[in-house]
Structure 1
Amino acid sequence: MEASVSLDLPTRILQARQRIEPYVRRTHLEYSPGLSKLADGCEVYIKLESEQITGSFKARGAFNKMLMLAERGPEFKEKGVITASSGNHGLGCLAACKRTGIPLTVYCQKHVDAGKRNSLEEQGATVVLYGEDCVDAELEARRTANLSGVEYISPYNDYDIIAGQGTISVEILEQLPEVDAILVSVGGGGLIGGIARYAKQVKPSIKIIGCSPEKSKVMHASVIAKKLIYEESFDTLSDGTAGSIEENSVTFEICRDYVDEWMLVTEEQIGKAVVFMAQTHHKIVEGSAGVSLGAYMFNAARFKGQKVAIVSCGSNISVRSLQDLLNKYVK
């Protein structure tokens, strides 16, 4: 990772905040009595990125990137851009592309959630299905973009995307300056990378907790191995964080250097967290949000006496999946 870019990232996050402010929501940081009572003296707040436009935090990074491209010149409105996504990043890019007049092509793995694929196509994106893993789609999208001279937008391996996601950290520290720990779901590392880099700059004592599903924990395993590795991912409720990570991703060193602790979450814990949000907060969240929520719910004693913020990163869960979870865990 270029040292100068890493050092400059907090400044770029603040610039991104100004750039995207007219287009995205400053999401609510909601106090959770139910989660707070799980540990003595603990105050827990949920950062509701699940109520962000497009139903996911991904809109932040997408708007930052697309607005920067639009400032560079009109050629992007002619050529368009190419990205790869399991759904949420594509929806965020599509919203930003509509605002800037830039055509969008999205590469998705073959088994991408049908609801997210339909949303992309219905709203005007060109969708190309490729490969069995999200990293297969990413590599093919990048290859196609390079051959055709079109800009490729990585869902996480891009400092402009990371800077956009990092604006969540700015808001949390404004809304709860005394926060002791932030729990974040981890896929490619763009979300936690931006949050961690800014938070550690402003408040070095803060603890950043990376949360991954047991069935897909590539960044977690890579940090342990001290290098990006390939590890097979399996089907998980957290489809938004699932899959491999692009080789040489800039997010690895940020996660290695700025994330303090890692937690793994089972499928049952993810499902119960999704149901908890529906029952207690009357909020719909997707499996990837259930990862960070579940990490706290089943490790609450670890946070005794602390003020905790949990990032609820998305709400794009299918009705069928939600119904299945409610049937399974509501007694």
Structure 2
Amino acid sequence: MLELEDVREAEAAVREVARHTPLDHSYTFSSMTGTEVHLKLENAQRTGSFKVRGAANRITRLTDAEREAGVVTASAGNHAQGVALAATRAGVDATVVMPETAPISKVKATRSYGATVELHGVDYDEAAERAHDIEAAEGRTYVHAFDDEAVMAGQGTIGVEILADLPEVDTVVVPIGGGGLISGVATAVKGIAPNVTVVGVQAEGASSVADSLRKGSVQKLEHVDTIADGIAVRGVGQHTFPVIRERVDEVVTVSDAEIANALVLLLERGKTLVEGAGAVPLAALLTGKYVYEEGETIVPVLSGGNIDLNLLTTVVMRGLVDQGRYVKLRTVLKDRPGALDTLLDVLTDERANIYAIQHDRTNRDVALSDAEVELDLETRGEEHVEGLLERLRAEGYEVELLV
């Protein structure tokens, strides 16, 4: 099993490529939770993610023959970029297989770091099958995204940095996909400071660990469905699972809505951009998915910031909806002059800001004398939305809340 000495040995290789990322004390999230929150900013890492650490350590350990043959890997994006950069820095040829659903920003970034990219399959697991075919056909070394002790050891350097910068830490909260990150971090943290709590967080749509722990062996999901594409893995690894079972104190899950809310809060209050996977530790903290003490010192590991801009737009809007700051309403008006003005007067009086209006006289679901109206509104929270709906209904409007 991976040990602290393995992580210590990885430090030199990691230091050659990766940055020692900062811990940022957040007054906002500390106040919201009654704790002392220090964000570990791996979104500020080279390639925008922690993955370059494990990739650098694994590639450093290649033999001369393996370096000559090159490496191959599969990744949804972050590991791809880490392998591409680490391999290019080491003068090793790299081929990366990415799912066809991988964000275009991550595909472009991987190519820019010097790797050859092939798109294959609907998710990480199908991409990995193709990468193994390339491994066999071309004699390349497969660099696993998580289930490799050299990769795990490289990721564990995050735990060493946290304890060096913040010895008084009580709890470290880490996202779980395949388990490479939390295995390394838990090994480092428990090896240096056994009393520090390590909490793992999965997305509900990719939550295989609880079932695996319950049954005592790795269980795989048939499919995954989450906005946190960086941890959208069907199951943890054979090497990572025993470490999780032995060294992680608790594993919890968060919903996509909770992830979106945390991401929006990080943007708006923390001035920090993360991807879905990077937001899950904070989402778990903000929603109280695990028990913590008032005044406790907590480090959520913000594992990456490589979010696709199209997804970011969707996530931000989802977060605003969940906070009651954006709503879409539908109602029906009499198709006569002034009817729309009267409705808008009510919205103005309730201080709802209008993003867009769609006014449709042709909808067959309404009477010939009526018109359907859909409104996109900026609101100020759930209470404001409830008050607005109450006022509209009191004025005689039948209102349907669309989002």
Is the 8 Å Cα contact of residues 173 and 200 (structure 2) preserved in structure 1? yes
Is the 8 Å Cα contact of residues 50 and 312 (structure 1) preserved in structure 2? yes
> Corresponding residue for 1:286?
275
2:93 to 95, 103, 107: 103
1:76-95 aligned within 5 A:
76-95=66-85
TM-score (norm 1): 0.92
2:224 to 206, 224, 234: 234
> Corresponding residue for 1:23?
17
Equivalent position amino acid for 1:242 in 2: A
2:160 to 149, 166, 170: 170
Q: Deviations over 1:222-254 (max 9, x none)?
A: 1222111121333211000002237x6211111
Displacement of 1:301? 7.8
> Corresponding residue for 1:57?
50
Is the 8 Å Cα contact of residues 257 and 318 (structure 2) preserved in structure 1? no
2:208 to 210, 213, 218: 218
Pair 1:256-2:250 in alignment: no
More strand by share: 2
TM-score (norm 2): 0.76
Distance 1:301 1:154 in 2: 30
Displacement of 1:21? 1.2
Distance 1:301 1:288, change over 3 A: closer
Equivalent position amino acid for 1:12 in 2: D
> Corresponding residue for 2:309?
319
Q: Deviations over 1:117-152 (max 9, x none)?
A: 222234432222232231222233224313432111
Equivalent position amino acid for 1:266 in 2: S
1:67 to 50, 57, 60: 60
**Structure 1: gaps of 5 or more residues:** none
The alignment partner of 2:57 has SS state of: helix
> Corresponding residue for 2:367?
none
Displacement of 1:107? 1.4
Equivalent position amino acid for 2:94 in 1: L
Is the 8 Å Cα contact of residues 183 and 311 (structure 1) preserved in structure 2? yes
Displacement of 1:77? 4.4
2:31 to 37, 42, 49: 37
1:111-260 aligned within 5 A:
111-245=101-235, 249-260=238-249
Is the 8 Å Cα contact of residues 20 and 64 (structure 1) preserved in structure 2? yes
More helix by share: 1
RMSD over aligned Cα, in angstroms?
A: 1.7
Is the 8 Å Cα contact of residues 46 and 52 (structure 2) preserved in structure 1? yes
**Structure 2: gaps of 5 or more residues:** 326-403
The alignment partner of 1:215 has SS state of: helix
Highest Rg: 1 or 2?
A: 2
* Higher RCO, 1 vs 2 (CA within 8 Å, ≥6 residues apart): 1
Pair 1:295-2:284 in alignment: yes
Distance 1:117 1:297 in 2: 32
Distance 1:117 1:153 in 2: 18
1:272 to 252, 261, 269: 261
Equivalent position amino acid for 2:40 in 1: K
The alignment partner of 2:252 has SS state of: strand
Pair 1:13-2:3 in alignment: no
Distance 1:290 1:39 in 2: 16
Displacement of 1:178? 1.3
The alignment partner of 1:121 has SS state of: helix
Q: Deviations over 1:56-103 (max 9, x none)?
A: 00010011111222xx32x34432111110100010011101111111
The alignment partner of 2:277 has SS state of: helix
Is the 8 Å Cα contact of residues 16 and 163 (structure 1) preserved in structure 2? yes
Displacement of 1:300? 7.3
Is the 8 Å Cα contact of residues 39 and 303 (structure 1) preserved in structure 2? no
- Using the aligned pairs only, state the percent identity: 33
Which one is further off, 45-54 or 31-40? 31-40
Which one is further off, 168-177 or 140-149? 140-149
Displacement of 1:327? 3.2
Is the 8 Å Cα contact of residues 181 and 208 (structure 1) preserved in structure 2? yes
Is the 8 Å Cα contact of residues 39 and 304 (structure 1) preserved in structure 2? no
Is the 8 Å Cα contact of residues 177 and 230 (structure 2) preserved in structure 1? yes
Is the 8 Å Cα contact of residues 203 and 256 (structure 2) preserved in structure 1? yes
Which one is further off, 10-19 or 85-94? 10-19
The alignment partner of 2:20 has SS state of: coil
